[in-house]
Amino acid sequence: MTRLIFLGAPGAGKGTQAKTLADLCAIPHISTGDILRNEVTQGTPLGVKAKSYQEGGELVPDHLILDMMRERLNQPDTKDGWILDGFPRNVTQAGFLDNLLKELDQKCDRVVNLDVPDEELVSRLLGRGRPDDTEEVIRRRLEVYREQTAPLIDYYRDRHQLVSIEGSRSMAEVTAAIQKAIDL
């Protein structure tokens, strides 16, 4: 049973590593960014509401994310574990997740924080070419990360759940470092 939260700035490699680890552990990789992009593409009611926030690099309002995650973590495939990627993204969402996990009688094992220097983040993101990866939106996403998401590093460190991994290495090296740190 493995339950992990992945933290990291945009471009830190969190999505790639979360997917790799989820495949290795045969558990779902739950990426709020992927779910939202999919809702936007499909033009669902949630997608219509989320579109302008996502395209501008702003956080989608908490109540939309909280409903979406409550529903996702109630799906049967989450019984064997999960990796959360992109959630929680601020302290309000972290508090909500605590309560939701209590309700579900589940516990998160570790919070993996991928640490990558700023210069490298920007060059990685510009090379990636996702629709919300224009230079202006990237700058805004990094600001939002610093203001709202980075405080979660201390939040989880204080609770002794944090594992920090140097993320500016090859993908395989980072995967190996995470596996070692979480003892998988």
Residue 135 half-sphere exposure, CB side, CA atoms within 13 Å?
Answer: 1
DSSP string, 157-182: HHTT-EEEEE-SS-HHHHHHHHHHHH
H helix or E strand, kind and range, residue 66:
helix 62-73
Stretch that binds ligand ADP, among 30-38, 94-102, 115-123, 151-159 (CB under 6 A): 30-38
* Pick 82 or 87: Cβ nearer ligand ADP: 87
Q: Which two tokens stand for residue 5?
A: 């939260």
Range in contact with ligand ADP (rule: CB under 6 A) among 59-67, 99-107, 151-159, 173-181: 59-67
Q: Give the interface segment with ligand ADP, choosing from 19-27, 57-65, 76-84, 107-115 (CB under 6 A).
A: 57-65
* Contact status, residue 84 vs residue 5, Cβ threshold 8 Å: yes
Residue 167 found at the interface with ligand ADP (CB under 6 A):
no
- Tell me which residues in 79-118 interact with ligand ADP (CB under 6 A): 86-87, 89, 93
Least spacing, CB of residue 52 vs ligand ADP, in Å: 10
Is 33 a residue that touches ligand ADP (CB under 6 A)? yes
Q: Quick one: CA torsion of 73, 61, 16, 163, rounded to 10 degrees?
A: -80
Helices and strands (DSSP H and E) totals, the chain: 9, 5
Selected from 3, 4, 10, 29, the binder of ligand ADP by CB under 6 A is: 10
| Site for ligand ADP contains 6 (CB under 6 A) | no
